Amino acid sequence: MALPTLTPEQRAEALAKAQEARKARSELLAALKAGTLSLGDVLAREDAVAKKTKVTQVLKALPGYGPAKVAALIEKLGIDENRRVGGLGEQQRAKLLAEIG
């Protein structure tokens, strides 16, 4: 399937929207890293920014969690490394909170 041809205005709109989404995701992860948000807060959020953020990114933003620890944790819990927060089931959310909280 070929990509649609965008007008310069549509392309500029799409680029601005993508930049806004990256900025919002960056702010979410920074708040998590600073401790102003907890993992439970992020998992409970219903907005598109939180739902579209990868679980591995969220876990790596937690203080004390690096790539190796995160990889071991998601392997232990049986969560796909490409899973996004919005795609987590209730049991996976509960397991994550039990392990980290």
pLDDT tens for each residue of 63-80: 999 999 999 999 999 999
Quote the CA–CA distance of 35 and 76 in Å, as a whole number: 25
> What pLDDT does residue 39 have?
92
pLDDT of 1 over the 80 cut: no
- Find out whether 59 and 94 touch, Cβ atoms under 8 Å: no
Average pLDDT over residues 9-34: 95
- Find out whether 42 and 28 touch, Cβ atoms under 8 Å: yes
Quote the percentage of the chain above a pLDDT of 70: 99
> What pLDDT does residue 10 have?
93
Q: What is the pTM of this model?
A: 0.86
